[in-house]
Structure 1
Amino acid sequence: MTAEDITDTAQAARAKLAQELADAGDLTDPAWRAAFETVPRHVFVPYFYDHAGNRISGDDPETRDQWFTAVHEDRALVTHRTNGAATSSSSQPSVMAGMLQALAVEDGMRVLEIGAGTGYNAALLAHRLGDDQVVTIDISPDITGPAQGRLTSTGHRPLLVTGNGAFGWPDRAPYDRIMATCRLDSIPPALIHQLADGGFILAPLGNALARIHRTGEATAEGRFLPGGAFFMPLRHSAEEGGPSRRPELPTGPGRPSSLPAAAIGDNAFRFLASIVEPGLTWQYDLSGERQITGARVWSDDGSLAHLHPDGTVTETGPRPLWCNLENAHHIYRDAGEPGPDHYGVTIEDHSQRVWLDTPDGPSWTLHP
């Protein structure tokens, strides 16, 4: 494929992807389908990085065909690296479609997007609602600069801001919808203040999407949607990037673990784990059948747990990280292994907590 072939071929490739998403039940709204068929993802993702860190680019004749195929598949693609670690990506189109439809927007609504990334999602929003109704924000000029150029080149002009998404953008508030395309560990209070009456926040809180409605000046409540949502975390500075280095492994005898290795691969439990112990980094031991047999897991404060293949665990650091996960697993198991849609979130002034089944059920405090 030559560079000259791309524009015409991409239009057919977009239509094919939209049809595949529709056939899978991921893209059911005609207005959003029209956006996916019209907005050229390949312009917003002119290159990406594969799992080995290699740059796959439309400008490189050696990788052009691989690049073109990938950007028209239902794949998340890493688009920005900081200190060698992935810090921005173009989300999987089926996940994007699900989030956009979950916004339940109507003509005339104003939307704030936290996490501009490549600008592709902002272009989809602008196609659906109009440029003047969309504000998108990201932390680094290395991200927002190229995104602005791509938006302009495709005829879209939403307001693109370089700044900390945790503060929102009060100049255009209130917003009927606020969506985060990055993982949050708690809901920034500024976002609640910037919601219009009757508006809501749609955000990956931990490893699932929460839809959170404002109930007062500084209060809100919501429920989680079914399924998982795995996004890169919100960054508060342009220099942040990548997981922390693994601490030294603890030595000495282990103790029996009540959290089995098999539970680590259970996405429903991993959602609860992402709430109880947010921002963990995991390494796994796998059997020949790709089953998890052991793991190392640690947090930024140096707490670390090592689950051995014999079912014992050793821990080190300032917090009993593995004990916290074990306690959460006991509740999860006793409750019948519920999925994310069994959980809700309550925000009251300076406190936030996630609860199971009802606000009076088991709950876990969220920390900024």
Structure 2
Amino acid sequence: MTTNLVEAAAARRAELVQALIDSGDLTDPAWQAAFEQVPRHVFVPYFYDHTGRRISAYEAETRDQWFDAVHQDRALVTHRTDGTATSSSSQPSLMATMLEALQVEDEVGMKVLEIGTGTGYNAALLAHRLGNDSVTTLDTEPDLVTTARARLTEAGYEPRVVLADGTYGHAELAPYDRIIATCRINSVPPAWVRQLTDGTGTDAGQILAPLGNALVRIHRTGPHQAEGRFLPGGAYFMPLRHDTADGIPTRRPALPNSKAHHTEVPASALADNAYRFLLSIAEPHLDWQYDLNADGKPTAARVWSPDGAIATLHPDGTVSEAGPRSLWTRLEDSYRIFTDHDEPGPERYGLTVDNNVQRVWLDTPDGPSWSLRT
């Protein structure tokens, strides 16, 4: 690494941090210092653009493009499996939001478990703030673990990097004051709750994770219980597991040729992040294709689920369906709740975990609710 690169990278990090401060995404001075000091370019020496082309620090024709991208507020795909993106370096503004929402304290002995090491960049930020001994990070991919460990060492950080299935946490070093997942989950693994520290109120161990299309923060309320609320805004992450039901798009079934019927769900709702959050809870694992107008707004769509159910929303506001169930009925039911409750955003929802029973609820635990599969 040349002196010129180090100096240039430091200057660009300072610019990025100032942009995150100006946008309101980065407010804590301790996290500001971490983002200024931890070199993202070390952890992302290459990435893949939307065409699948590799943009690398090691190739003269892409080096400048790489250097600009790693110092911008962009998510960057860093790992592909059979042509599908399976790991990425998250958007720095979202990382800053999550780290501040983690509510860590600068005290000796606070322990954090990170689920989803990825590039190692987030683990480095945690280690910079809390110290190497306070951070354990794990990933299920051997090549990601090996590479992240090497890049952490290169950048001057040595948190524990463990090869393990994040579903089961890491009981060996439990309990943890905080568990943060940098991968999407569809329910909270029970092991995570068991591995949190005891306590009451803000002293209880906490989990912060992307569930559906938003972030949820829950605190332990008992040996197998936890409760909390979702945070405002969206959060789009790679899934904890990559299988045919989660993460890798399923093959689209044959388009329906049944008689179309009218629907009250407008095409515009499909671009509404608040409605799409509810769908991510009520009907996870959906795949979508859209027809867009000149303004990039949906005018028609195809949506299907792994069980083979498919629906087509036509430009005239009608829907045709095929498969083992009426998928669009689920979307209509969700839309009815959405409109009847004044189009709530994620911050109006909460989550209760009680042993193997998990429910997302609207406004209060007694409000409309959706059971999660565990």
Structure 1 partner of 2:332: 326
Structure 1 residue 316: Cα displacement: 2.2
Give the 3 Å change call, closer, same or farther, for CA 150–109 of structure 1 in structure 2. same
Give the 3 Å change call, closer, same or farther, for CA 65–4 of structure 1 in structure 2. farther
Q: For the Cα contact (< 8 Å) 1:166–1:236, is it kept in 2?
A: no
Residue range with higher mean Cα deviation, 4-13 or 180-189: 4-13
Matched, 1:5 2:14: no
Give the 3 Å change call, closer, same or farther, for CA 317–3 of structure 1 in structure 2. farther
What is the CA–CA distance in structure 2 between the aligned matches of 1:300 and 1:104, rounded to whole Å? 37
Any stretches of 5+ residues in structure 2 without a counterpart?
A: 199-203
What is the CA–CA distance in structure 2 between the aligned matches of 1:44 and 1:19, rounded to whole Å? 21
Residue range with higher mean Cα deviation, 44-53 or 281-290: 281-290
Q: Percent identity?
A: 64
Structure 1 residue 246: Cα displacement: 1.2
What is the CA–CA distance in structure 2 between the aligned matches of 1:320 and 1:174, rounded to whole Å? 44
AA in 2 matched with 1:86 = A
Structure 1 length-normalised TM: 0.97
What is the CA–CA distance in structure 2 between the aligned matches of 1:179 and 1:361, rounded to whole Å? 27
Structure 1 residue 3: Cα displacement: 6.3
Structure 2 partner of 1:67: 66
Q: For the Cα contact (< 8 Å) 1:139–1:236, is it kept in 2?
A: no
Structure 1 residue 330: Cα displacement: 0.2
Deviations 1:46-99 (A, max 9, x none): 000001110000101000000000000000000000110001000000000010
AA in 2 matched with 1:89 = S
Give the 3 Å change call, closer, same or farther, for CA 366–180 of structure 1 in structure 2. same
AA in 1 matched with 2:89 = S
What is the CA–CA distance in structure 2 between the aligned matches of 1:10 and 1:31, rounded to whole Å? 20
Q: For the Cα contact (< 8 Å) 1:276–1:364, is it kept in 2?
A: yes
Secondary structure of the residue aligned to 2:192 is helix
Matched, 1:312 2:312: no
Structure 1 residue 179: Cα displacement: 0.5
Question: What is the total number of aligned residue pairs between the two structures?
Answer: 366
What is the CA–CA distance in structure 2 between the aligned matches of 1:204 and 1:365, rounded to whole Å? 17
Matched, 1:29 2:35: no
Structure 1 residue 311: Cα displacement: 1.1
Structure 2 partner of 1:191: 192
Structure 1 residue 4: Cα displacement: 6.1
What is the CA–CA distance in structure 2 between the aligned matches of 1:216 and 1:309, rounded to whole Å? 50
Matched, 1:296 2:309: no
What is the CA–CA distance in structure 2 between the aligned matches of 1:365 and 1:163, rounded to whole Å? 28
Matched, 1:335 2:336: no
AA in 2 matched with 1:135 = T
Deviations 1:317-359 (A, max 9, x none): 2332211111011011010001111000111122111010111
What is the CA–CA distance in structure 1 between the aligned matches of 2:2 and 2:302, rounded to whole Å? 45
Structure 2 partner of 1:278: 284
Give the 3 Å change call, closer, same or farther, for CA 258–132 of structure 1 in structure 2. same
Structure 1 partner of 2:357: 351
* Residue pairs, 1:1-368, within 5 angstroms: 5-106=4-105, 107=107, 108-197=109-198, 198-235=204-241, 242-368=248-374
Secondary structure of the residue aligned to 2:27 is coil
Secondary structure of the residue aligned to 2:268 is helix
Deviations 1:299-330 (A, max 9, x none): 22222211111111122223322111110110
AA in 2 matched with 1:177 = R
What is the CA–CA distance in structure 2 between the aligned matches of 1:348 and 1:4, rounded to whole Å? 54
Secondary structure of the residue aligned to 1:195 is coil
Structure 1 residue 12: Cα displacement: 0.6
AA in 2 matched with 1:11 = A
Residue range with higher mean Cα deviation, 182-191 or 310-319: 310-319
Deviations 1:21-43 (A, max 9, x none): 11111111111111100010000
Secondary structure of the residue aligned to 2:222 is coil
What is the CA–CA distance in structure 2 between the aligned matches of 1:236 and 1:17, rounded to whole Å? 32
Q: For the Cα contact (< 8 Å) 1:247–1:298, is it kept in 2?
A: yes
Secondary structure of the residue aligned to 1:284 is strand
Structure 1 partner of 2:201: none
Deviations 1:135-157 (A, max 9, x none): 11111112111111101111111
